[in-house]
Structures are given as structure tokens and as C-alpha cells.
Structure 1
Amino acid sequence: MEKYTIGIDFGTESGRVLIVNIDDGSIKGQCVIPYAHGVITEMLPTNDGTRLPRDYALQHPGDYLEVIMKGIPHAIKDANISSSQIIGIGIDFTSSTMVAVDEKGKTIMFSQGISKQSPCVGKIMEASWTEKRNRRNVQISFFT
């Protein structure tokens, strides 16, 4: 039975999933999932419509989860293989994207009780590599 690996590339506007044959490197299946939120540059995707300052470029962690939850099954179906044939997975992010999680591994973005006044707002979204603020401002906003 042939063996395959999954490759996931989380890019700026979409996530791409490939199913690759480990013997010859051929692509057996694939799927592209455009991010529902794209690059967030104007306002947070909250009910209160919080506007972002100039030069912000954020990404929604839920978009990454959607790539995993929808893209992998779709790519496996496209490859017409059994999931038992998959022996590995590789993940690549544009730049060094990090997702903040709580002690249970749940994305903080989805935690209850986060409000506009919370110190978490602005820290729960993921900074995109297209972020135009200078490094010091990003560190102040996201890491302090």
C-alpha cells in the first residue's frame, strides 16, 4: 500500500493542503481554503466594530482551524486514499505566526469573557507578516 504525507501551508490569504506520495514526491490530492477573514486591516471581527489603528494587519486564528478541519478531509477525498495511508504531516506558516492559547490549549480568541475593554483585545488576533507597524510597536501591542 502506498504511503502519503500531508503538507499544510498557512499563507497570507489562504491555507493550502497537499497530499504527497512519499516515494516519488507526486501530489496526489490538494485543497485551497481562502481565509474567511482575509487580512484584517480595518476593524476587529467583533460585534462592536472596534476599528484598528493605521498600519495594523491581523489574521483570525479561526481561519487556521478552518484550513485543518475542512482542507485536510477535502484533500484526502481528492487524493482518493484512505486516511490510514497517511504517515506524517508537515506545517508551514508565512513568517513566524503564533497563536495564543490558554492552559487547555484553546485559542484565547475563542475564550468567554473577552471584551473590548479586556487587555487581551489586540493580543488575541495574530499579527500578519504584512503588518506595517515597527517592531517596537508590535512588541508593545502584542507581547507586553
Structure 2
Amino acid sequence: MRKNNARLVGVAVTALLGMTAWAGYKNSHTVSVTIGSNGSGGAASGSLASARNSSDTVQYIGCETHAYGGGSEIMCFARASNGTFGSCYSSNPVIVAIVQSIKGDSEIEIQWNSGSECTFVSVGNHSHLAPKNP
């Protein structure tokens, strides 16, 4: 009888430990903005959800798409919790398409040149990113 109880306890502990392993990796990616020296461009990255869920009321990151006469254009904006701000725009169809893949909890990385034109945009949708809280 004691052997059976010991086995049951062992199985229960193993099951509980196994459940913890299934919880998955979690990470937040607050907004970071870096401005190059002498206006040489910059970069920003962060998760939309991490920015929204942050305890400060300063940081944000995001992009928007605009359609006009014969094409479309995107604008991306980011502000870190220390107040550093950066933005860029692009009418490059490839960059516009990437920006259109942003979802509500995406992770975004942008880079821009001295003319504030987006030269790189990356959009990530990962299971380790937290969803936005209301």
C-alpha cells in the first residue's frame, strides 16, 4: 500500500513539473529608440503589447498605412520610456507590404536613414510575446 502511495505522489509531482514545462517561454520587449550621431538615421524596436502594458505613459511604437492617388505610403513612430523619439516613412511597396502584416501584438523593428526614410522594417509575431491588456 505504501509503495502505491509513493508511486502516486511521484506521478503527481512529475505531472506538476511537466505542466510547468508546457507553460512556454515568455518575454516582453519594451520600446528602444536609438538616434545616430549628427542626424545620420536611427533605429527603434519593441512589442506593441509590451509598450501598451508598460507601467509608464510615455512609450509607444507602431506604423500606419496611407493610400493616395497612385500608391500607398507607411509611417512608423516610436518613443522610448526615456522620451527618445524616432519616425520614418516609405512608399517602397515591399516595406508597405511588411507593415501591413503588423498585428495587434506584433514586435516591430525599424531603421531609417538621415532623410527619415525607412530602410528596414521587420515584423515578428511570436508565441513568447505577451498579448495586450485592456
Normalised TM-score (structure 1):
0.24
Structure in which a larger fraction of residues adopt strand: 2
- Structure having the higher Rg: 2
Normalised TM-score (structure 2):
0.26
